[in-house]
Structure 1
């Protein structure tokens, strides 16, 4: 007669829950696409008296975008705002790099404020 001990039961349960948690996190990460937050078109608006322009990058040349190809170029009153996309899809800028934003337009509006 082989009985399972309480220690073995807790160890098995903890192992199973760890596997389930890891599988759920992996499935969520695979289902998200950080490129989805990159605007496809252009944005040209006036916000609090400042002109915000967002265009798709054209190849990452000097002053045509100091960032990776494919990331948008954000300009406020004609001056480029350097932006970066984090691994989780959120955006940060040099003006406010301690706060993350969901989209480049919300990032640009926060930089104007």
Structure 2
């Protein structure tokens, strides 16, 4: 007979597996998507890459141990996850396999709007 604790544990395991699978599906989708004005070249460590994607200039440069990414000269905040996956501040529910793919997803999410860089102040201050 299952008690309440066992049911909660199993639910947490199922939710974790489902989240992992949806993240893997997102990586697969971004890996298969085209739509770039240029060749789909991923920015490898040590490489600087600039491309125009849907009319926006994306620049990926090596910055210390990570990458600096900008869209039209404005910085895009990226968080590196384990094993080479990236999340952007704009698409924080979608996992990208490279900083370039994260920047392309951010351009898609912007729908033509300008990127507003994250400031040093918190969202509660004015």
Pick the TM interval, shorter chain: 0.5 to 0.7
Q: 1:71 to 1:80 in 2, by over 3 A?
A: same
Tell me, in whole angstroms, the C-alpha distance in 2 between the residues paired with 1:100 and 1:85: 10
Tell me, in whole angstroms, the C-alpha distance in 2 between the residues paired with 1:106 and 1:39: 14
Tell me, in whole angstroms, the C-alpha distance in 2 between the residues paired with 1:78 and 1:71: 18
Return the offset for 1:38: 5.0
Q: TM-score, normalised by structure 1?
A: 0.55
Which residue of 68, 72, 91 maps to 1:73?
A: 68
Show the counterpart of 2:54. Answer: 48
The alignment partner of 2:91 has SS state of coil
Which residue of 66, 76, 82 maps to 1:87?
A: 82
Structure 2 counterparts to residues 1-113 of structure 1, below 5 A = 38-57=44-63, 69-113=64-108
Q: Decide whether the 8 Å contact of 1:38 with 1:72 is kept in 2.
A: no
Which 4+ residue blocks in structure 1 deviate beyond 4 angstroms?
none
Please report the RMSD computed on the Cα atoms of aligned residues, expressed in angstroms.
1.4
Q: 1:48 to 1:110 in 2, by over 3 A?
A: same
Tell me, in whole angstroms, the C-alpha distance in 2 between the residues paired with 1:97 and 1:88: 17
* Unaligned 5+ runs, structure 1: 1-36, 58-68
Tell me, in whole angstroms, the C-alpha distance in 1 between the residues paired with 2:44 and 2:89: 18
- For 1:73-94, what per-residue CA distance to the aligned partner results, in whole angstroms no more than 9, with x for missing partners? 0000000001011023210010
Rg: which structure is higher?
1
